Structure 1
Amino acid sequence: MSTKTKEKALRIWRIVKRTLLFLFLFQLFYILLLKWVDPPFTLTQLGSLFTGYGLKRDYVDMKDVSSYARLSFIAAEDQLFPDHNGFDWKSINKAMEYNKKKPNRVKGASTISQQVAKNVFLWQGRSWLRKGLEVYFTFMIELLWDKNRIMEMYLNVSEMGPGIFGIEAAAQNYFKKPAKKLNRQEAAMIAACMPNPKKFTVKPLSRHVASRYPWVMKQMAFLQNDPDIQRILQ
């Protein structure tokens, strides 16, 4: 290899290193910033806007969200949320075994933390690249945020209907009231639309939501006195 070729290769390598360092520092700064500041937008929200579903959202503080709403999503989506470090390994193993047996019917096992990592920092999809990045961002938010901030972010950025993002927008659209005033049944109905709120609609009430929300309410009653969950509900 000639001297000029070596020098060119070194210059390219320096540029690559600087670019990677910049990207790492930028994403670290952004994760830390979002510990206190709500994201201006997410890729999923932009996708909803540009594909014709629209974008309805209204970020609110945790104190402005009914405790029933918080409890309903823990009951429906991630009952071990207060206890795990971002990953429910038992459920992940079960999902992997299920997907091996039935490859045409993919079953997920994402925790609330993983869903926040995906919804805030990444895009929708099932590629290995996205899943790998999801693991990284889940680890980082569990390290740098607390559980209350993760739950607050989840309730603000998750899609809860076609073009409807966050519990406040869902409460206003479905029940004409703020999220702070949602009752147990209303909160359970919204949580029951996950993980496919475009298909499993709250209004009009889909068959899936109608059959699932009573189960969510039973799980809420079972979980509500758990001390670890109570810390998130207060």
Structure 2
Amino acid sequence: MPRIALITGGNRGLGRAAALALIENGIEVIYTYRNDPGEKIDAVALPLHVGDLGSYDEFETALRRVLADRYDRTDLDFLINNAGVGRAGSIAETPVEAFDEMLDVHFRGVFFLTQKLLPLIADGGRILNFSTGLARFTSDGYAAYASMKGAVEVFTRYLAKEVAPRGITANVVAPGPVATEFGGGQLRDDERVRAHLGALTAMGRVGEPSDVSGLIAALLGPGTGWVTGQRIEASGGMLL
């Protein structure tokens, strides 16, 4: 029976890197996208706006159909809550609209999509939620974003306790600076920014998508089923 992972926001960035790493490890992938499914890979793409809770019923119906028709299953093994949106701004200048958008996607969406999909996660399955290194260290302009991720970390600990009787684990992956298109791609494209932030890490560089996707694949692999309720930071030793 194939192992199946659902990744939100798997059309780009760390979500796409995670999808490719899991496929390479023999895991079947279903991923969500909001507007553009991205470059075609050996996976199933389903549309979903994580911040729109009213769309969840339709998404669940589509997901159940894929599980039955493609995999002859009624459940999946892994849920990776990755979808995100970046909005920077000081506390004094953050507009309510930007705050609410991040709240909807990064916290309300993670909470209620997980709630919606818990019946579809097989006993013994695993849940990974994305946080950020910014929930530990600070950087100007990210108070609202990091606060949402801090809420995700608390939620994950409570989730881990609730799902443990089913043998399901729940953990948080907290990346540091990673060279993707997130937030306009500055970390990927601006060498001055890369050099500055790289100098703040013990490893002396910013992260690449494979640095984080490798961790995700490891956490969903054999031998890590005793790890739950934990925050695992993948930042190269940022600001130690």
Determine which structure has the larger helix proportion and give its number: 1
Determine which structure has the larger strand proportion and give its number: 2
Which TM-score applies when normalising by structure 1? 0.26
Q: Could you say which structure has the larger radius of gyration?
A: 1
Which TM-score applies when normalising by structure 2? 0.25
Larger RCO of the pair (alpha carbons < 8 Å, separation 6+) = 1
